[in-house]
Amino acid sequence: MTPSDPTFPTRRAARAEAERRATAAIPIPEPEPGRRRSTFEQPAPEAGHSAREERVAEELTGTRGAEQTPTPDPLSRRALREKPRAALGAALGAPLLRRRLAVAVAGVVVVAACAIAVGFAASGGGQDAAGPANAAGPDAVASVQGPPAVPDEGLPVPTLAAAPAAATPCDNPAFTAALAAKDDGAAIAAAGGGAAFRDAVASGIAPCVSLNDPTHQWVVVNKQRPYDPVDWRPDDLVMPDGVRALEQSAMRSSAAKALTTLVRAADDAGAGEIGYLSAFRSYATQQETYAGRVAVGGVAAADRESARAGFSEHQSGLAVDIVPCSGSCGSLDDVAGSSQGAWVREHAWEYGFVIRYVDGQESVSGYEPEAWHLRYIGPELAQAYHDGGYTTLEAFFNLPAAPGY
């Protein structure tokens, strides 16, 4: 077919009209007032275009000036070009809208699913939290419901096992037998030695040991601890062998033997001869001694230097006042500065003696320092006393201080 074909304009117009009808079948919503028009939307027809469009259509169909059957308003070429574009915009806009709607719906579904899951967990999987079908387990239920209720009978009370009682030498038959026999050395050995004996007595776990009993070498006598009976007297007094005595004053046999050994060791070590002035004093003798001190310096001064009758260590037969001797013997006040006094301070404990009243302990022992006053407590206890760094028997046996009567 060529352009000279007389039916060509008619067919062309018919095809254009078919395209127009197909395009017109797609609904295009009118734009809202004030809304910006999409580039795919067809602009509203202008008022001056209708006559021109009719002339173009008549030329194309060859019917200009002839009577025709009324047809729908023909469109211009520009309108024909805009129609497919509008249709394309509508076609593209619909899927985009659908995608946005789908995304929104999916978001709502996710949020709802999360809410349902949380509610499901909180409710114990939709079952009774106390029932056997609880899929969350007892731990999860406890975390939601809080701590369990206290039972009617109350919470269980833990049972504490009683600590075993501390071992005491008083349960040892060998120890108690030695005490009854007045064998102090055997009793201390049965207790495990001097330190063990001291620990047991000081801690209070050896109630069978009395520190008030003057028949034992561990007796403690001070201004708060008198003899009972007050005029008690030992029955085994002897004079120390080989020791110069300035007056006839005996000691208990164990203490006398120990003093003899000490004096010989000091002389052998080159420290010089050691004699003694006074050892045992009876209750009556101590009354006279104390009264003489009161007469010289008054009661307060006498109490710092001398014991009242019934409170003196000399009455036990275990105490002795030594003096240095070199040809003749010196006084009590000479002991502290003598070679004999220096040796005694270092070695007396090795023979069972301690210096009972030392400097700086008047508030505990109740007496001014006396470098000459030795007290026998036995070699085992004297070693524990020395090794422990003690300076008073009160501290050694964990007793109260006795500064006054």
pLDDT in tens, 19-48: 676 666 555 555 555 555 544 445 544 444
pLDDT at site 151: 77
* Residue range 149-158, pLDDT digits in tens: 777 777 777 7
- % of the chain with per-residue pLDDT over 90: 59
The residue among 17 and 1 whose pLDDT is bigger is: 17
**pLDDT class of 8 with cuts at 50, 70, 90:** low
Q: Please say which residue of 209, 231, 256 terminates a domain.
A: 209
Average pLDDT for residues 160-170, to the nearest whole number?
75
* Mean pLDDT across the chain: 81
Yes or no: say if 200 and 207 are a contact pair by the CB < 8 Å rule.
no
Same-domain check for residues 280 and 180: no
Whether residue 374 is contained in a domain is answered as yes
Are residues 303 and 278 part of one domain? yes
Q: Would the pLDDT of 191 be above 90?
A: yes
Pair 198, 261 in one domain: no
Query: Which pLDDT value is given to residue 135?
Result: 45
Q: Are residues 204 and 226 in the same domain?
A: no
Q: Are residues 354 and 273 in the same domain?
A: yes
| Domain shared by 195 and 253, yes or no | no
Residue linked to tokens 């000091």:
266
Residues 178 and 268 in one domain: no
**pLDDT tens across 197-227, in order?**
999 999 999 999 999 999 999 999 999 999 9
Name the nearest CA neighbour of 341 among 266, 277, 265, 247: 266
Which ranges in 62-209 belong to alpha helices (H)? Answer: 77-122, 137-145, 173-180, 184-191, 194-203
Helix (H) or strand (E) holding 339: helix 339-347
Residue 294 reports pLDDT greater than 90 = yes
- Inter-helix orientation angle 184-191/379-387, to 10°: 50
Same domain for 242 and 203, yes or no, is no
Kindly state whether residue 47 falls inside one of the protein's structural domains.
Answer: no
Determine which helix (DSSP H) or strand (DSSP E) holds 20, and give its type and residue range. helix 8-24
Q: With cut-offs at 50, 70 and 90, classify the pLDDT of residue 361.
A: very high
Q: Would you say residue 145 lies in a domain?
A: no
Which of 209, 236, 269 marks a domain boundary?
209
The whole-number average pLDDT for the span 316-343 is: 98
Pair (242, 383) in one structural domain: yes
Higher pLDDT, 143 or 369: 369
Quote the pLDDT of residue 66.
Answer: 45
Q: Is the pLDDT of residue 281 over 70?
A: yes
pLDDT at residue 153, rounded to an integer = 72
- Is 391:354 a contact under the CB 8 Å cutoff? no
For residue range 305-322, list pLDDT tens digits in order: 999 999 999 999 999 999
**Residue 376 DSSP label:** E
**Is 182 within the bounds of a domain?**
yes
> Shortest CA distance to 379 belongs to which of 273, 215, 259?
259
Query: pLDDT at residue 49 above 60?
Result: no
Residues paired with 321 in a beta bridge: 278, 373
SS3 of residue 277 by DSSP: strand
What is the arithmetic mean of pLDDT over 167-176? Answer: 96
Kindly state the average pLDDT of the residues 361-374: 98
CB 371 within 8 A of CB 338: no
**What pLDDT was estimated at residue 40?**
46
What CATH number is given to the structural domain containing 390? Answer: 3.30.1380.10
**192 and 225 share a domain?**
no
Higher pLDDT among residues 30 and 392, named by residue: 392
300 and 323 part of one domain: yes
pLDDT at 152: 75
pLDDT for 150 equals 75
Who has greater pLDDT, 190 or 144?
190
pLDDT exceeds cutoff 90 at 78: no
Has residue 72 got a pLDDT over 60?
no
| pLDDT beyond 60 at 105 | yes
Instruction: With respect to residue 287, please indicate whether it lies within any of the assigned structural domains.
Output: yes
The confidence score (pLDDT) of residue 376 equals 98
Residues 198 and 241 grouped into a single domain: no
Question: In this structure, is residue 112 part of a structural domain?
Answer: no
Give the residue numbers spanning the domain of 351: 221-396
Instruction: Output the pLDDT for position 133.
Output: 42
Q: Mind giving me the DSSP string for 55-93?
A: HHHHHHHT-TTS-----PPP--HHHHHHHHHHHHHHHHH
**What confidence category does residue 96 fall into, taking pLDDT thresholds of 50, 70 and 90?**
low
pLDDT of residue 164: 63
Kindly report the pTM of this predicted structure: 0.62
How many distinct structural domains can be found in the chain? Answer: 2
Q: Which of 76-90, 268-282, 307-321, 337-351 has the lowest mean pLDDT?
A: 76-90
Query: In which band, very low, low, confident or very high, does the pLDDT at 303 lie, cut at 50, 70 and 90?
Result: very high
- The verdict on residue 163 lying in a domain is no
3-state helix, strand, coil in the chain (%, to 5): 45, 10, 45
Q: How confident is the model at residue 12 (pLDDT cuts 50, 70, 90)?
A: low
Q: What is the pLDDT of residue 165?
A: 60
Is 273 inside any structural domain?
yes
Give me the percent of the chain exceeding a pLDDT of 70. 63
Residue at a domain's end among 183, 209, 235: 209
